[in-house]
Amino acid sequence: MKGVVLLKLWKTDLENYIENLYLSIDVFKPSQIDPETVAARLGIALRYEALPSKCLMIDGVCYIFLDERLSDHEQKRYFCHELCHALLHVGSQRNMPLSFRQLQEWRATNFMQQACVPTFMLEKVIQGIRFESHAVNAIAKAFSVEHDLASKRLQQYLRMKKEQEFFYQMQQLLTNQKY
């Protein structure tokens, strides 16, 4: 990707959380990010049913139900979405105010994007690739995700890089300024 200065990226709390989570269960490569591997290593019961995907706690056991009618890519996306609910949300959304439910769903969607294509692996996959279209293809293939998700994650990553580069340049400018 032309013109992007490669600085060490400051990661968000969510990016650090996902990296630490994956490393703690020995998930180091994109090919290891699949529902069966992640669920088994986290002690989550995974079931495939002909019903909408959801996460439930039953008798102290966390279950993630995935819709068996979905493609593997879609199941991965839904798994990572439900994984957020399993790891970061407590209780039932049924009696929750709408704005709280919407916030949890927004957070689960963001978590899904980061968990399907974690930054610490993304950086390795796109290293040395000069064009965004090639990077999107490489991400989609390496992480086994749809091109729209690969493109979203790449855009998030590049936007964060640009923001941090701008911050770095402003910091350098202010540091070198004489008063």
- Model confidence at 98, in pLDDT bands (50, 70, 90)? confident
Q: List the one residue out of 35, 33, 80, 42 whose CA is nearest residue 61.
A: 42
Over residues 35-44, the mean pLDDT reads: 97
* Three-state SS at 67: strand
Residue 96 has what pLDDT? 75
pLDDT at 174 over 90: no
- Model confidence at 3, in pLDDT bands (50, 70, 90)? very low
Residue 104 has what pLDDT? 84
Q: For a pLDDT cut of 90, what percent of the chain falls above it?
A: 68
Number of separate helices (H) and strands (E) present in the chain: 7, 3
Structural domain boundaries of the chain?
A: 13-87+101-171
Residue 5 has what pLDDT? 45
The model carries a pTM of 0.85
* Of 14-18, 60-64, 69-73, 169-173, minimum mean pLDDT range: 169-173
| Angle separating helix axes 13-24 and 98-116, nearest 10 degrees | 60
Residue 142 has what pLDDT? 97
pLDDT at 179 over 90: no
54-58 and 61-67: which strand pairing? antiparallel
Residue type, 28: F
Distance CA 147, CA 116 (A): 12
Q: Are 119 and 15 in contact (CB under 8 A)?
A: yes
Residue 6 has what pLDDT? 47
Distance CA 32, CA 38 (A): 8
Token digits for 66?
């995935």
- Model confidence at 4, in pLDDT bands (50, 70, 90)? very low
Over residues 152-176, the mean pLDDT reads: 83
